[in-house]
Structure 1
Amino acid sequence: MTFKILTETDYQISQWSGGETKEFYIYPETSAYAKKNFDYRISSATIAVEESLFTSLPNYSRCLMVLENEVKLIHELPNEKIVCRLAPFQKTYFSGAVTTRSIGKCKDFNVMYTSDYTVSVAVINEGDVELAAENSYFFYLLNECVCSQLNNKEVVLKAGMAYVLSNESGKMKFIASTEDGIIGILCCFKRK
């Protein structure tokens, strides 16, 4: 089992044309976003301007989930424009090669990945999460919770922490500290 807990001191913060981005995790860990040599990257961005143009990433697919406020994405294809409106915890998957504009200020959760992976991104609520050994997982905590790990050891995880796990199967149990039961966001990476 490969297991790692990440905190604010592990994240990389940088500026982009529309605001600020916080890189939570990049894989392989020796890769770099600027070099575009990563398999997948997980981040959160603040879109601080009313209209912005997303960075072109021709060799990557993306999943974007809104965390705060609402945003409208406009994907400019050769013969049409596709408009996607997202409210908090709604997501969309799209090609990084497509010219994409956003309208509206928001905070988002963003996953970029190569075609070597099938990726799913979901909000996790209190309860069990089933893990498969062939997948890699990234949990980002929006709220404090208690997590019963696979070895039945309980760990308190704080909001803003992340949890990276691979080569493990079984169940993890999450107990929420908020009434709405929202724990955070789960990303599952399955190599094709």
Structure 2
Amino acid sequence: MTNMEYKIYKEDDFRVSNWMGGKTTQLAIFPETAKYLERNFIWRLSSATCEKEESDFSKLAEFDRVLMVLQGDVVLAHQDVRVARLGELEQDSFDGGYSTKSFGKITDYNLILAKGNKGFLDVITPGPNSQTPELESYPEYEQFTQGYYCRDGFATITIDGETMMLTPGQQLVINCENGKAPALSVMGEGHLVRAQIFYNYHQEEMGPTIIPKEKACFDDYKACIFLANTQFRGASFIFKKLKSQWYDEELTAAINKIEKLYLTFFIGTFGFAALAVYGLERFTGIEWVLWIVGWFLIDIFLISPSLYLAVVPKPVRKHIKDINNLTPYEQRVLEKQLATNERLEKLLKKYKNSGRYQYDEDGNSVEYPYKKE
């Protein structure tokens, strides 16, 4: 991140999910490609409703949390540590690894931040006259984010001379290099919840490598010949270099998209069957064999590679990585892939779709479809 950027997140941008105590709304996450359930984010802003008198919070051992009450009253009991009673617009900061239970029906605002970084929430009450909120200072961090959430009323915010308006439920996020925050002023009425987040971000550690898209070339076609003809069990025993290669997430998703529909299999099989019947009526002996071999060569070197070329990201070879030179993020993805039991994942997904799961306030499953004895 080298330049200042900002965005107002509105209802269409939010990610809403149900949990066993109410609903949770992800307002913003960084980096934007991160997924909460994969725990590969630096920070996350969200709002949740607790519609039951008692709720258990997720354990997030690698994160710190700040919770502010937007509506209602709550008691947060951090097991064997301490307790906090909060009214509207009061907050509590705590270790995400605590065993925390809440007592009370509330709507809250949450900042979840990876350990080793700094994050704060406070309340700004805008008025008819322009005001410039003071900023915290932590020069040891490289990046700085300000978040402004409109709880009620409205606010007009001017950033480097450009004015915008926030209405209830909207979230403004401003990202910049630390020490280079833009000139900002606020007017309006009601209450804004402000987040100040100081952090270090190195893309190779936290997210996938961004590879600019390019037009297809002949080298991409050659790579697709290899890809199209090595998607079968045991391929790594025949093509030894597969053992030293890793396909990034974007390329893997494209391959799965093709293979999930069995497109290359059906095209190859249908063509073989059609030509076999056609050839039997017109050719004999070696001519019929050559006819079939010709079809297989066309399928291997033209049809299947062309199908792959239309779907996979280009340049293809930049998405094929040396397994010994992966970034920390890519290494974590590889380890997760190696630990994944695809058959079990499909079974659990089946149970999830049947409605036999329950979820915590951030969408985690907290009860498996079987009982422990």
> TM-score by structure 1 length?
0.89
**Aligned residue number for residue 43 of structure 1:** 46
Partners of 2:193 and 2:67 in 1: how far apart? Answer: 12
Partners of 1:153 and 1:98 in 2: how far apart? Answer: 42
Aligned residues: 184
**Aligned residue number for residue 115 of structure 1:** 115
* 2:132 counterpart letter in structure 1: D
Partners of 2:70 and 2:191 in 1: how far apart? Answer: 13
Structure with greater helix percent:
2
Aligned to 1:9, the other structure's residue is in SS state helix
**Aligned residue number for residue 56 of structure 1:** 59
Residue 33 of structure 1 pairs with residue 36 of structure 2: yes
Of 22, 25, 28, the residue aligned with 1:22 is 25
**Aligned residue number for residue 199 of structure 2:** 191
Shift of 1:17: 2.3
Structure 2: 5+ residue runs without aligned partners?
A: 201-373
Q: Is contact 1:23-1:42 (8 Å) kept?
A: yes
- Structure whose CA Rg is larger: 2
Partners of 1:101 and 1:53 in 2: how far apart? Answer: 5
- More divergent stretch after superposition (162-171 vs 4-13): 162-171
RMSD over equivalenced CA pairs, Å: 1.7
Q: Is contact 1:130-1:172 (8 Å) kept?
A: no
Residue 136 of structure 1 pairs with residue 140 of structure 2: no
* 2:64 counterpart letter in structure 1: S
Shift of 1:129: 2.2
Partners of 1:37 and 1:62 in 2: how far apart? Answer: 16
Shift of 1:173: 1.3
* 2:23 counterpart letter in structure 1: E
Shift of 1:130: 4.2
**Aligned residue number for residue 325 of structure 2:** none
Shift of 1:20: 0.7
Shift of 1:134: 4.4
Shift of 1:170: 4.2
* Relative contact order, higher structure (CA 8 A, sep 6+): 1
Structure with greater strand percent:
1
**Aligned residue number for residue 86 of structure 1:** 86
* 1:158 counterpart letter in structure 2: T
- More divergent stretch after superposition (19-28 vs 126-135): 126-135
> TM-score by structure 2 length?
0.47
Aligned to 1:159, the other structure's residue is in SS state coil
- Judged with a 3 Å threshold, the aligned counterparts in structure 2 of structure 1 residues 130 and 166 are, in CA distance, closer, same or farther, namely farther
**Aligned residue number for residue 298 of structure 2:** none
Partners of 2:105 and 2:145 in 1: how far apart? Answer: 31
Partners of 1:51 and 1:121 in 2: how far apart? Answer: 24
Of 62, 69, 73, the residue aligned with 2:72 is 69
- Judged with a 3 Å threshold, the aligned counterparts in structure 2 of structure 1 residues 39 and 170 are, in CA distance, closer, same or farther, namely closer
Aligned to 1:144, the other structure's residue is in SS state strand
Partners of 2:77 and 2:163 in 1: how far apart? Answer: 43
Shift of 1:153: 2.5
* 2:79 counterpart letter in structure 1: E
* 1:161 counterpart letter in structure 2: Q
Q: Is contact 2:69-2:109 (8 Å) kept?
A: yes
Percentage of pairs with the same residue: 29
Of 144, 147, 155, the residue aligned with 2:164 is 155
Aligned to 1:3, the other structure's residue is in SS state strand
Structure 1: 5+ residue runs without aligned partners?
A: none
Q: Is contact 1:130-1:169 (8 Å) kept?
A: no
